[in-house]
Amino acid sequence: MPVRAFVFPGQGSQAVGMGKELAAAFPVARETFEEVDEALKQNLSRLIFEGPAEELTLTANAQPALMAVSLAVVRVLAREGGLRVAEGCALVAGHSLGEYSALAAADSFTVTEAARLLRLRGEAMQKAVPPGEGAMAALLGIEADEARAVCAEAASGEVVEVANDNGGGQVVISGAAAAVERAIAAAKARGVKRAIPLAVSAPFHCALMAPAAEAMAKALAATPPRPPVVPLVPNVTATPTDDPEEIRDLLIRQVTGTVRWRESVAAMKEAGVDTVVELGAGKVLAGLVKRIDPELTALSVGTPGEIEAFLKTV
């Protein structure tokens, strides 16, 4: 029997129309989208299914939207296939906002709680830095330690830090716009293959997000996580935990901290996982897992067809 980890995508995986087939095919998926709409007092599902894309991409919309699609998949697997998270996987993990999806899947938050926390998180992250003052860039063909050295060299008293260690030679940096530009130049001088400025609305996962971390500290004090039914591999430490106090602390630190995805995948393998199943929109995480460790089986489950094929293997 495969030992599975369920993983949940982050921002950038959103696309207009995601989850639409699910909602059409499965009543429990429809109910999940309706629950998120009710929690936010907004017809988010219509925005998810019909767009416009620029509105869906707004951080405050994209974060709860991606969680809604992931949790719709989780509930379809449980209702249609009898595959519940507690028995179906050994660990859960998520990329940035996906950590909230993972915790909701593992009954640490309700869907309503996760939707409201992610709406607040998205708004707080957006407000933390005025538009145009921050930037992010993907560096390809570099490992995290060298990227940290590049950031240190380019900082000149400004913030520029490793935001995501995605593995497979892909590192995302984040910080003040001018410092990110200097880091791109420094990376190219070191022979980095490509440095791509990212079209993001704020510099996530760096020290400039401190105001958003404070907002999440207050929100998570009011809505603390419960013990998850299976351990979480957190972004901040990449060490599995099911301690709700530690999880709450790590969710606060995650706002300014590095998403240690490469190390998270290594931790899953070390814990005996041989199959990583991405639940929700897109195929970004499955692709990263394959690059990080080709020995792991990685698959994406987000459409009715993918759910049907996956349930046949369970």
Same-domain status, 143 and 119: no
Which pTM was predicted? Answer: 0.97
Percent of the chain with pLDDT over 70: 100
Q: Rounded to whole angstroms, how far apart are CA atoms 61 and 208?
A: 21
Annotation marks residue 205 as catalytic: yes
Same-domain status, 257 and 142: no
Residue finishing a domain among 166, 200, 234:
200
pLDDT at position 1, please? 84
Q: What integer is the mean pLDDT of 171-185?
A: 98
Confidence of residue 296 (pLDDT cuts 50, 70, 90): very high
pLDDT at position 162, please? 98
Annotation marks residue 13 as catalytic: no
Q: Rounded to whole angstroms, how far apart are CA atoms 103 and 122?
A: 17
Same-domain status, 275 and 139: no
**180, amino acid identity:** V
Same-domain status, 13 and 103: yes
pLDDT at position 273, please? 98
Residue 8, helix vs strand vs coil: strand
Q: Per-residue pLDDT for 98 more than 90?
A: yes
**CB contact at 8 A, 87 and 74:** no
For residue 135, the surrounding DSSP H or E stretch is strand 134-140
Same-domain status, 112 and 216: yes
Q: What is the pLDDT of residues 117-130, one digit of tens each?
A: 999 999 999 999 99
pLDDT at position 145, please? 96
**CB contact at 8 A, 12 and 259:** no
Q: What is the pLDDT of residues 232-258, one digit of tens each?
A: 999 999 999 999 999 999 999 999 999
How far CA 287 is from CA of 9, 143, 284, 296, in Å, comes to 11, 17, 5, 11
Same-domain status, 118 and 227: yes
Same-domain status, 182 and 220: no
Q: Per-residue pLDDT for 199 more than 90?
A: no
pLDDT at position 195, please? 94
Residue of 101, 174, 201, 205 with catalytic role: 205
Alpha helices in 26-174 (DSSP H): 27-40, 44-50, 53-57, 59-81, 85-88, 98-105, 111-128, 144-154
Q: Write out the residue range of the structural domain in which residue 153 sits.
A: 134-200
Q: What integer is the mean pLDDT of 212-227?
A: 98
Same-domain status, 183 and 249: no
Confidence of residue 200 (pLDDT cuts 50, 70, 90): confident
Residue 37, helix vs strand vs coil: helix
Q: What is the pLDDT of residues 7-59, one digit of tens each?
A: 999 999 999 999 999 999 999 999 999 999 999 999 999 999 999 999 999 99
CATH code assigned at 226: 3.40.366.10
Q: Per-residue pLDDT for 207 more than 90?
A: yes
Q: What is the largest CA-CA distance in the chain?
A: 55
pLDDT at position 144, please? 96
Residue finishing a domain among 178, 200, 222:
200
Q: What integer is the mean pLDDT of 130-155?
A: 96
Tokens in use for 176? 């003040």
Q: Per-residue pLDDT for 193 more than 90?
A: no
303: left (phi over 0), alpha (psi -120 to 50) or beta: beta
Mean pLDDT of the chain: 97
Residue of 13, 70, 96, 108 with catalytic role: 96
pLDDT at position 203, please? 96
Same-domain status, 96 and 233: yes
Tokens in use for 220? 């998570």
Same-domain status, 138 and 217: no
pLDDT at position 161, please? 98
Q: How many domains does the chain have?
A: 2
Tokens in use for 192? 């980095």
Give the DSSP per-residue string, 272-300: T--EEEEESSSSHHHHHHHHH-TTSEEEE
Tokens in use for 112? 């309503």
Same-domain status, 119 and 43: yes
Residue finishing a domain among 148, 169, 200:
200
Q: What integer is the mean pLDDT of 188-213?
A: 94
CATH code assigned at 193: 3.30.70.250
Same-domain status, 93 and 26: yes
Residue 58, helix vs strand vs coil: coil
